[in-house]
Structure 1
Amino acid sequence: MTDVADVADVTLSARRAVDGRGQAAPYPLLVADADGVIRSVNSSAGALFPLARTGASMDGAVSGWLRRAHEETTAGGVAVRAAGVVGERSFEAHPVPEGDAVAWWLVEDTDVRLAREALRVEQERTALLGQVSSALLTSLNPQRCMQVTAELAAAHLADAALVVAPGGTGRGLPVTACERGGESTSAVSDADPEQVVGLAEALQGFPPVPSRWIDPEAMPDWLVPDGFGPVGSVVLTPLPGHGVPAGALVLLRLQGQEGFTEEEEGFARLFAARAGAAMSAARMYAHQAGLTELLLRELLPPTLRRIGGVEFAGRYRPAGDTEQVGGDFYDVHPLVAEGTRTDRAQAAEQANASLVVLGDVCGKGMEAAVLTGKVRTTLQALLSLADDHLRVLTMLNDALLNSHHTRFVTLVLASVTRVPEGVRLRLTSAGHLPPLILRRDGSVEESDTAGTLIGVLPEISATTAEVLLEPGETCLLYTDGVTEAHGGPMGREMFGEERLSRALATCAGMPAEAIVEHVHMLVSRWVGTRDQDDTALLAITAPRGRHPGAVDGRPTA
């Protein structure tokens, strides 16, 4: 490759060239007068321009770009450099005025031009790969990733691009197609990938087949966009994923267009690697998100309803704005009546019975939520023993001691039974805060129950308190996330049991739903924007009707 800087030395020898002594110069030299008549041509220039002869006109003998530069130089009196292509070679032409003639030295820069062009292409491709990564990583939606991949590939790599995703059993192949300058479209095809050479293998993650192996005329209709025209060349490459193939990329060019080169096929594989990784990540995220949503539905507290006219209402708030579940929980389990026809009163009483559970697993976040799910499932399995609170708690304690968890649980069991006088409660605390009883006159009582933590000691103890709720009275179960919520003017004061009792006293005669909403609102205001622990509230309100057959708080006829 000749360095362009050598032109300085060439220019110094221009006078000798004009005198005819440049015939042996390694650079092409051509001298022409103001009329464009060639006065001298050295052997190098003659080899480059076979029609250039002494006395001949530059028109038709040399390239047009050199002729135009000569005209500008002779007309303006100012030397005008020029550059152009002769055949597949490129040159820079340097003029040296000499009287009424101009000597043109041609310095070849083909290698420089090709290097610059290769650098430009490489820069464009690097920028495209960066664009692909940026565009795809901003979305964790699998369908959106397929659309972006098809659109970018059609805009930069081919006349049309298709992204084919692996199909599930009996579900067909998801296909996203895009033509250059158009918008992507998506469909599900029932076609057999074996119809296309290399497609089935690409969907399984095998290396791509060379483009020359694929017959463009054999492309099936489902892999050619509507109205696209005859296919001239095809590139098919897998979209590699994280251990599992993400799909296949199909690039199409129309007939009459230059076919894909090996270099372009290689770059298509680099493009596919970026796109496949992003698509695979999006699918993995969508799969995990689906599993998480399924699990969360099971871990979230249930929607409460009335049972036998008894009102149940709850509120739950996990710690932190990013959590959906935590260690606090509550459940209300209706109990199946076990009475006989000869004991109608007992059967009617049991038909309106339920077991309420409210608890707090040590810690917060997903790890606490997992243990919460185990506790709730175990308690549900022990519903047949609901009348014997101590036995239920003992069996739950044994189950936790035999697990790999190192966390403990506090909870309250409340057997709720509708009776003619109102609602009878049997309350048993296992290391939990005792429930509060709100009477009709606004007084608040603390239930007389206590017990040991669950999941710590091999043996537990607990005392059960019996409480009668008259119509309109409420029992409130709550976790320490309520009383230990820090807030207030300085942000360091706990909400406390006394403040909770005062708040509850103002709710006399209110429905269960209104009571938990009022307390929950007060605690939220107290905390403000500060972090807080999980909180759970559950209110049990006796119906205002006095007949044991009351429905929704209203006596039946």
Structure 2
Amino acid sequence: MDSEDVPAVVPAGTVPEQADAVPDRAGDAAPLTAVLKQWALDQIPLPMALFDHRARAIAVNAAMERAMGRPERDLLGLRLGESGPDLLVQGLGPVDEVVERVLRDGASVPYEAYLRVPGESREHAWLLNLYPVKDADGRIRAMSVAGVDTTEQYRARRRLGVLNEVGLRIGTTLDVGRTADELAQVSTEHFADFAIVDLLDAAVRGEEADPAPPGGETVFRRSAQRSVLEGCPESVIPLGELHTYTAHSPPGRALGTGRAARYTVDDAHVRWWAADAPERAHSMTRYGVHSKLLVPLTARGVTLGLLILARHRTPEPFGEDDQFLAEELASRAALCVDNARRYTRERANALALQHSLLPHRAPRQAAVEAASRYLPAHSRAGVGGDWFDVIPLSGARVALVVGDVVGHGLQASATMGRLRTAVRTLADVDLAPDELLTQLDDLVLRLDREEQAAGGAPSGPGEGAGEFGATCLYAVYDPVARRCGVARAGHPPPALATPDGRVEFLDIPVGPPLGLGGLPFEVTEFDVPEGSVLALYTDGLVEAPDRDPNAGYELMRAALADPGAALEDTCDRVLRAVLPGRRADDMALLLARTRGLDEEHVATWELPSDPAIVSRARALAGARLADWGLEEAAFVTEMVVSELVTNALRYGSPPIRLRLIRDETLICEVSDAGSAAPHLRRARVYDEGGRGLLIVAQLTERWGSRHTGAGKTIWAEQALPRE
């Protein structure tokens, strides 16, 4: 049906004196019907239009003229979709297909369109209903379109969609910089051409953000920036650089009031930019920025930074709707930034505590050469409770310790410090590895009970470790015997790399984790060739959720296959080879290359149980000191030997053995088969005994005793004379 086949449309407001009779449904002539229908069409508040079978407009009502911003004469003859350059289709395919469905199939089709008419800065959303016009025989003769302005509903859906996306895309990590970048990216994808996130420098460091002094300047760090132009050419401040905003500037005023502010770039605004920062004004005018939106990032009553949005490619300026959306966006993002800031602060505190509790450098000694590494986890769980230690023991021996406390954060770090202190205290008593772990197990149980009594969560069924569970491996290496004794409580086995290049994970019986109580620990002793490397580590080094459990151990075996390399280099090689790309747990690594003390450093004598042997023991010690060139230490050493041998003869049992060890200090040891522990006491004026150990304590730097399977050993250390 061509346009000429359709009866002429009577202009609105006119009633012809003679009108063609139009039959009504009863078949009677109704000369005013066409006029009435035209009036009704014009007075319907919804925009309506009539199209012929070629989809060309043949009639529109007054509401459609107002909606299109054009008179009827400019719209007649246009095809649907030609009425504006910005007419878009969402989800229904090209407009020609929609028209075809209506005119060919007789379907009624809803159709979303977005249109900006002359004189409007923002486009409108329309829901168009396309439906066929049929004659009395049901034949399709034309197509009618009725539109409903759904702009408010569209904007509301858009806001909800953006805010829903914000919840999914912002705050995915507890990293301040990453959160700021996510905020800038979402902003430029939805309603800004350029976005800047400036955070207070204190907030980036995880510290409390102090308010700016009145009339003063506040230090910010450029934390993120995004643009629709590649490379963010609008920005004149590099990412990560510090800068300030004065209190009288628009950003400073927005921060001071805590409320968003919209600006169009007028002369006054340009003058402020030129006076405060000429390079910013030049950048703004160069790229045609015409509208800006400043939104403070405020969370929990504290302003953490500023979101700066600009438009230069989008023609319309920011409106109230944009400001509302930006404020909601900034409010949610600010909470994520504050959470990340608090996490950064807690993580920094936990790391500081962790590093302060870990040994910074192993003491120099003859038994082992040590190197170590500690790395915190990447995950948001925070710093864990992994620790290691190298503890000098009597008799030139050394204790090597690695442990792992359950949990993360400050609580785990504090617990780690308590356990490390307890291990050092128990090591000073010279307990065997299994006895030390037993005492440590009791301590963890006691800590857990105290936590529960203070209101902590009770342990669940079978979870004896509760809040203070831990694993630990304790090894004691004797450089004289070149033997090592190891016990472990739920901890991964140590690795031993021998000088011939063989690497094996030692088969040490694994005891229960600390805190279960009531179960024994076993000690395994083995010979260690001089120059071997003992590797102690936590499970965070070798285990990862995305790989086979045995893969980490095989990678570590290969990395340790060169025991002659420098230990620092070996540590780095192990980390590069074994560590997963992103660590879900922290990790500790301790490497110790063993040394041996030969006959040039050790002298041993078996002594008979005869009081006359005391003078002989002094002579033997003096002669050996002369061989070592330590004559200056002879007087004190002979006094110590005399008192310790006399003590063994009086209170101990044979056999008696005297041993001198030349290490970083001069060590004197007297062993016997007795089990009575020596006690230091102050003798009264008329006492005949009780002065021996007091003399030893005054003449030497430190002394003590240790129990062995064959009895006990009393030892004393004195500093070597300076050369």
Normalising to structure 2: TM-score of the pair? 0.43
| Equivalent of 2:149 in 111, 114, 117 | 114
Change (3 A) 1:225 1:97: farther
CA distance in structure 2 between the partners assigned to 1:536 and 1:139 by the alignment: 31
CA distance in structure 1 between the partners assigned to 2:288 and 2:595 by the alignment: 76
Q: Is the 8 A contact 1:178 1:225 kept in 2?
A: no
Partner of 1:485: 510
1:428 deviation in Å? 3.7
| Equivalent of 1:370 in 394, 400, 414 | 414
- Please give the per-residue CA displacement for 1:376-424, whole angstroms capped at 9, x wherever unaligned: 67xxxxxxxxxxxxxxxxxxxxxxxxxxxxxx8795344xxxxxxxxxx
CA distance in structure 2 between the partners assigned to 1:28 and 1:454 by the alignment: 90
Partner of 1:194: 247
CA distance in structure 2 between the partners assigned to 1:244 and 1:453 by the alignment: 46
| Matched position secondary structure for 1:165 | strand
The answer to whether 1:180 aligns with 2:228 is yes
CA distance in structure 2 between the partners assigned to 1:477 and 1:141 by the alignment: 41
Change (3 A) 1:519 1:541: farther
- Please give the per-residue CA displacement for 1:43-98, whole angstroms capped at 9, x wherever unaligned: x9589779xxxxxxx865747348999xx99xx99989999999999886864558
Change (3 A) 1:508 1:47: closer
1:280 deviation in Å? 2.3
Map residues 101-500 of structure 1 onto 2, 5 A cutoff. Answer: 109=147, 113-115=148-150, 117-168=151-202, 172-183=220-231, 186-194=239-247, 196-197=249-250, 199-203=251-255, 206-211=258-263, 216-217=269-270, 218-219=272-273, 220=277, 221-222=279-280, 229-254=287-312, 257-300=315-358, 304=362, 306-307=364-365, 309-311=366-368, 326=385, 330-332=389-391, 365=407, 367=411, 370-374=414-418, 411-414=425-428, 428-429=430-431, 433=434, 471-474=480-483, 476=485, 478=487, 480=489, 485-486=510-511, 497=522, 500=523
CA distance in structure 1 between the partners assigned to 2:425 and 2:81 by the alignment: 97
- Please give the per-residue CA displacement for 1:408-457, whole angstroms capped at 9, x wherever unaligned: 8795344xxxxxxxxxxxx544x974589xxxxxxxxxxxxx9998898x
Change (3 A) 1:301 1:77: closer
CA distance in structure 2 between the partners assigned to 1:181 and 1:245 by the alignment: 29
Change (3 A) 1:310 1:15: farther
1:287 deviation in Å? 2.3
- Please give the per-residue CA displacement for 1:494-547, whole angstroms capped at 9, x wherever unaligned: 9953xx43xx23x25445x63x449999xx99xx89xxxx99999996523624
Task: In structure 2, give the amino acid aligned to 1:125.
Answer: R
- Please give the per-residue CA displacement for 1:458-494, whole angstroms capped at 9, x wherever unaligned: xxxxxxxxx996745446475655777259xxxxxx9
Q: Is the 8 A contact 1:428 1:451 kept in 2?
A: no
Partner of 1:397: none
1:122 deviation in Å? 2.9
Q: Is the 8 A contact 1:151 1:180 kept in 2?
A: no
CA distance in structure 1 between the partners assigned to 2:198 and 2:156 by the alignment: 27
Q: Is the 8 A contact 1:314 1:536 kept in 2?
A: yes
The answer to whether 1:546 aligns with 2:600 is yes
CA distance in structure 2 between the partners assigned to 1:477 and 1:452 by the alignment: 16
Q: Is the 8 A contact 1:207 1:237 kept in 2?
A: yes
Partner of 2:706: none
1:291 deviation in Å? 1.9
CA distance in structure 1 between the partners assigned to 2:600 and 2:441 by the alignment: 36
Task: In structure 2, give the amino acid aligned to 1:543.
Answer: L
- Please give the per-residue CA displacement for 1:262-319, whole angstroms capped at 9, x wherever unaligned: 1111111112122222222222222222222222223345553532x3336699999x
CA RMSD in angstroms comes to 6.3
| Matched position secondary structure for 2:162 | helix
CA distance in structure 2 between the partners assigned to 1:208 and 1:222 by the alignment: 20
CA distance in structure 2 between the partners assigned to 1:469 and 1:47 by the alignment: 99
Q: Is the 8 A contact 1:153 1:161 kept in 2?
A: yes
CA distance in structure 1 between the partners assigned to 2:26 and 2:282 by the alignment: 61
| Matched position secondary structure for 2:261 | coil
Change (3 A) 1:365 1:78: closer
Higher mean displacement: 159-168 or 309-318: 309-318
Q: Is the 8 A contact 1:179 1:225 kept in 2?
A: no
Task: In structure 1, give the amino acid aligned to 2:339.
Answer: A
| Equivalent of 1:28 in 28, 41, 52 | 41
Q: Is the 8 A contact 2:223 2:239 kept in 1?
A: yes
| Matched position secondary structure for 1:190 | strand
CA distance in structure 2 between the partners assigned to 1:64 and 1:468 by the alignment: 95
| Matched position secondary structure for 2:309 | strand
Q: Is the 8 A contact 1:216 1:231 kept in 2?
A: no
CA distance in structure 2 between the partners assigned to 1:496 and 1:27 by the alignment: 97
CA distance in structure 2 between the partners assigned to 1:317 and 1:481 by the alignment: 20
Change (3 A) 1:451 1:284: closer
| Matched position secondary structure for 1:161 | strand
Map residues 63-82 of structure 1 onto 2, 5 A cutoff. Answer: 64-65=78-79
CA distance in structure 2 between the partners assigned to 1:20 and 1:355 by the alignment: 118
CA distance in structure 1 between the partners assigned to 2:384 and 2:81 by the alignment: 81
| Matched position secondary structure for 2:306 | strand
Normalising to structure 1: TM-score of the pair? 0.54
Q: Is the 8 A contact 2:385 2:404 kept in 1?
A: no
Q: Is the 8 A contact 1:145 1:279 kept in 2?
A: yes
Q: Is the 8 A contact 1:95 1:104 kept in 2?
A: yes
CA distance in structure 1 between the partners assigned to 2:362 and 2:331 by the alignment: 50
Tell me: higher relative CO, structure 1 or 2? Use CA pairs within 8 A at least 6 residues apart.
Answer: 1
| Matched position secondary structure for 1:239 | strand
CA distance in structure 2 between the partners assigned to 1:315 and 1:264 by the alignment: 55
**For this pair of structures, how many residues does the alignment match?**
417
Change (3 A) 1:479 1:12: farther
| Matched position secondary structure for 1:543 | coil
Q: Is the 8 A contact 1:162 1:178 kept in 2?
A: yes
Change (3 A) 1:257 1:280: same
CA distance in structure 2 between the partners assigned to 1:120 and 1:519 by the alignment: 59
CA distance in structure 2 between the partners assigned to 1:165 and 1:178 by the alignment: 15
Task: In structure 1, give the amino acid aligned to 2:249.
Answer: V
1:238 deviation in Å? 1.2
CA distance in structure 2 between the partners assigned to 1:195 and 1:28 by the alignment: 58
CA distance in structure 2 between the partners assigned to 1:49 and 1:453 by the alignment: 88
Runs of at least 5 residues in structure 2 that lack an aligned partner in the other structure: 1-22, 43-48, 67-71, 84-98, 203-216, 233-237, 447-475, 492-507, 513-518, 544-548, 551-587, 602-627, 630-661, 666-722
CA distance in structure 2 between the partners assigned to 1:171 and 1:479 by the alignment: 52
